[in-house]
Structure 1
């Protein structure tokens, strides 16, 4: 079977069968935002992300500094989804021999700057030559303080589904950049794509002090993340389109380019926000305390329901199945499922 037929997630399922471990020190393996392992008395969290030129980025709108920033941010977001405290990183780098040394240095400056915000130290890695395109990978190690960490698989029927920050901003920023829009326009969405800020402190707060049940970062798109979380938790979900937090500038940019802003919010991906569930009796208290600690919004967007209800998007016109429509490697990503998209003129 070709990978284009199997898809990214089908491949992951095959890999799981090969590398599954019964070691008591492997607390969480494949299937979450990061692995969790026990080393002596410590509980460590490990994640890795790779970026390939032409797949994840293009240098016509990414500077090396911004690329380094974004690569480190993607890894930090995985640890944020576990509620972990970031510690150390190693970096693998493959670049053409004719690349400028200054570009590589700037790449590391970008990784260092965003990493330092959260206490990360880059302690090593590997460098090698590439026959053409740049290839980058970061492996990040963190700690689950007190042995506490979030998982995708703990959602329960009745839980409130909530999300941090804004949805669709990164997709709007990408559309603006690829269309040749200047960097003076719509600065928040450009920053969301080029220099995203992972929700590390927010994730630690939610795990250590708020009692969240399940959590995942929004990297592949909200529709995909909701499906991942529900599949692993064995539940269904109702998402209310009218509650999705979308910046006014994202709505404006989407509509001006002939796109649906709700498509950006549901399928855009790479927002690096946190999607989580929490018992309803804890939601009101969390909402009040949140504003005392963080400036970004926190929004309840739905609820967890019984699995037979399915995973649905609720609009004024009724409900429809919410299929995963975000990015998936190896497959064509041009034909996202439209079962959850709003039709022209339809309002949430």
Structure 2
């Protein structure tokens, strides 16, 4: 489970992500409301990649002493806009803003990353590159919620994850875990408005990438083959601690 998008614990699908000011966001580029949505959505994206129905969120907030009550309320209003209830959490003081969210859900079938087979098609749930294009213009986008799409794909997908680290990097996770080559046709990759091919390596699109024998109407961008690694897309992507 450690190498998948979420862990499975006694019938629950559990995932956790932390957002740290100065590492994952800048407050002069994002509103408190959008930050709340973002903190919830990046975790719900892991549930989507697990084919899960969300049950709730646990939210821990560490904030500087000068943070106002109105700012905190706006943050939680953004979380509430996802439609997933906050079940609990913690609040404390710190020198910089840190927001840690744990998402809980249930799934009938979690595809994971290790089941892709030669002949599977590679599909994505939506256009890519929007986050990179926005970052070039000193702003962040609200990540999409692909929960319904994730549940549909989970019924048939051999492997699935969310695109948080860039197309090449995340396709590489499936290739490495499944022992296949992910051959991507760049001409088939749908680009978001204003995005370029270079933006595919930025990450943070939070669309789903699945290897599946049945595309279910989702956009096909390549296929799995015998071999290893990723072909057809520029290398690069987000790596922690680099």
Which TM class, normalised by the smaller chain length?
Answer: over 0.9
Larger radius of gyration between Structure 1 and Structure 2: 1
Distance 1:88 1:35 in 2: 15
User: Which one of the candidate residues 307, 316, 335 is aligned to 2:227?
Assistant: 307
Tell me the residue number matched to 1:62: 30
Distance 2:152 2:204 in 1: 22
Tell me the residue number matched to 2:181: 236
Tell me the residue number matched to 1:201: 148
The higher relative CO (CA closer than 8 Å, separation ≥ 6) is in 2
**Deviations, residues 262-288 of structure 1 (Å, cap 9, x unaligned):** 1112x0211110000111xx33xx22x
- Preserved CA contact (<8 Å) 1:220 1:269: yes
Tell me the residue number matched to 2:197: 262
Distance 1:154 1:329 in 2: 25
Tell me the residue number matched to 2:9: 37
- Count of equivalent residues: 242
1:156-305 to 2 correspondences below 5 Å: 156-177=117-138, 193-208=140-155, 211-247=156-192, 249-251=193-195, 261-265=196-200, 267-279=201-213, 282-283=214-215, 286-287=216-217, 298-305=218-225
Tell me the residue number matched to 1:48: 16
- Preserved CA contact (<8 Å) 1:159 1:278: yes
Distance 1:96 1:268 in 2: 29
Distance 2:147 2:89 in 1: 23
Q: TM-score, normalised by structure 1?
A: 0.67
**Deviations, residues 28-52 of structure 1 (Å, cap 9, x unaligned):** x2000000122xxxx2100000000
Tell me the residue number matched to 1:155: 116
- Does residue 328 of the first structure (1) align with residue 236 of the second (2)? no
Distance 1:124 1:268 in 2: 32
Comparing 197-206 with 74-83, greater Cα deviation is found at 197-206
Tell me the residue number matched to 1:126: 90
Q: TM-score, normalised by structure 2?
A: 0.96
Deviating 4+ runs (over 2 angstroms): none
Distance 1:194 1:244 in 2: 20
User: Which one of the candidate residues 95, 107, 110 is aligned to 1:144?
Assistant: 107
What SS does structure 1 have at the residue aligned with 2:86? strand
Which structure has greater helix proportion?
1
Query: Superposition RMSD on alpha carbons, in Å?
Result: 1.4
- Preserved CA contact (<8 Å) 1:86 1:141: yes
What SS does structure 2 have at the residue aligned with 1:30? coil
**Deviations, residues 39-73 of structure 1 (Å, cap 9, x unaligned):** xxxx2100000000011111111111000000100
Distance 2:144 2:209 in 1: 15
Tell me the residue number matched to 1:104: 72
Distance 1:327 1:59 in 2: 21
Gaps of 5+ in 2: none
Gaps of 5+ in 1: 1-28, 179-192, 252-260, 288-297, 315-321, 332-348
- Preserved CA contact (<8 Å) 1:67 1:194: no
Distance 1:194 1:230 in 2: 28
What SS does structure 2 have at the residue aligned with 1:73? helix
